[in-house]
Each structure stands twice: as structure tokens, then as C-alpha cells.
Amino acid sequence: MKRNGILNSHISKILSDLGHTDLIAIADAGLPVPEGVLKIDVALKLGTPSFQEVVELIADDMVIERVIVAEEIKKGNPEALQFVTDKFGNDAIDASINHEQFKALTRQVKAVIRTGEATPYANCILQAGVHFG
């Protein structure tokens, strides 16, 4: 058994398999998952685990160079936007697509990690970076 880090074997494997520029999504409880995209469902009940909890845990194990969010997050969930901005820095945040484009982009992710989050637009796509420059 692992001593620390992410214990969920599906998430751990996905993170281990990521290459530079690969994408994963962290989603609220309502975001649709495209057919053919792996869904890792960690939702226990509405609100648990939260979007922030899951992003924090993933960020501890993943090199992240870009975070994509839907532009609707600015008005629809400014708290979630502030969280990802504080966590990753303003330069890493890309809020240039709308929610429909965001959902279409999830067809390209390696996995969608579904949280129990029950607030609007609490979704992000994380683009993998590398340890070396």
C-alpha cells in the first residue's frame, strides 16, 4: 500500500501516464462526460469531495502548466476562479472559451475526475507540464 500521495488507484495511474501537454479534467457533479472518455467518479454526496479539495490533491502530484476554465466562471462562480488563480497564478489561467467549448474540449482529456461539487462552473482542465525546462 502507498504510504502517501493519492491513494485512488485510477487517479494515480492516470497521473503516472501523463505526458507533456496531456489534459485531465476536474469536474463538478453535473458536467457531462463524453462517451469514450474515462470517468473517475470520486463523488460521495453533493459537496463531497469539493472541487477545491480535489484540485489541491491533484496539484500536489501533477506538474501543471496551464489551467483551462470556462469564461462563465468569472460571473457564475468567482470563488472557484479566485481559488484556481491563487493556486496556479494568473498567467497559468486560460478563461478564453465558453462553457460549450469547454465541454467539447473534454473529448480530448485522458480522464474526467468527477467531484461532488454542487456550484456552477466549478470545472477545470489541467494541462500537464514537465519537471525539466
Spell out the domain ranges in the chain: 9-128
Task: Flag whether 61 is marked binding.
Answer: no
Band of residue 133 on the pLDDT scale cut at 50, 70, 90: low
Question: Across the chain, where does the E strand assignment appear?
Answer: 23-27, 38-41, 64-70, 93-97, 111-114, 124-128
User: How far is Cα 124 from Cα 112, in angstroms, rounded to an integer?
Assistant: 10
Q: 9-128 domain in CATH 3.40.1650.10?
A: yes
Task: Flag whether 43 is marked binding.
Answer: no
pLDDT tens digits, 32-59: 999 999 999 999 999 999 999 999 999 9
pTM: 0.96
Q: Report the catalytic residues.
A: 20
pLDDT tens digits, 76-99: 999 999 999 999 999 999 999 999
